[in-house]
Amino acid sequence: MSLAEINYSLLREVEQFLYLEARLADENRYRDWEALWADDGIYWVPANSGDIDPELEMSIIYDNRSRISVRVNQFLSGKRFAAQPEIQVRRVVSNVELLQDAGEEVRVGSNAIYFVSGETDDEMWGSRNEFTLRRVDGEFRIVRKNVVLVNAAKALPNLAFLI
């Protein structure tokens, strides 16, 4: 998509959606966050590299819509010990680019840096994110969220927050 072709009003709208998604995740508003997903949503955090085939190789997260619900329900169960005491997160989402505007669906890329304060340690995480968003009744819904961690190839500590 060349600069001349950018639909700036769409870009602003998409950015606002990404910031909303980020804030709900930061604030552990699990149900509100879950409501952003389309019925056929896929949430993918590959292990090792973004080039793997998640149908054949291990991913850190490769959730279909029903597993996204299980994940959210586990956070809300009161017994997700990896997320207790509550993990504090703030992330910055930047470098937002429209990658493809196919009418009903929009593909958007961004970078994200996360400052995560868990029970003992403070951690930095970084990722390249790509969302596919679909308009459902005038609102964006997440059809696909890919989060490729900068350090995906390394051994990683617990990832017990919504990344």
What is the sign, positive or negative, of the torsion defined by CA atoms of 24, 27, 146, 73? negative
Site string for another protein, 87-126 (x = CB under 8 A): --------------------------------xx------
- Say whether residue 28 binds another protein (CB under 8 A): no
Closest distance of CB 110 from another protein, Å = 20
Site string for another protein, 33-72 (x = CB under 8 A): ------------x-xx---x--xxxxxxxxx---x--xx-
Spatial CA neighbour of 83 closest among 113, 112, 116: 116
- Cβ-proximal residues to 10 (8 Å cutoff; 6+ apart), any chain: 98, 101, 106
Residue 42 CA to residue 52 CA, distance in Å, equals 16
Pick from 3, 5, 77, 103: which binds another protein (CB under 8 A)? 77
On the CB side of 49, how many CA atoms lie within 13 Å of its CA?
A: 2
Shortest Å, Cβ 142 to another protein: 17
Enter the tokens of residue 100.
């493809």
Taking residue 84's Cβ as centre, other Cβ atoms within 10 Å add up to 13
Site for another protein in 132-161 (CB under 8 A): 153-160
Question: Least distance to another protein from the beta carbon of 9, Å?
Answer: 36
Site of interaction with another protein (CB under 8 A): 45, 47-48, 52, 55-63, 67, 70-71, 73-74, 77-82, 119-120, 153-160
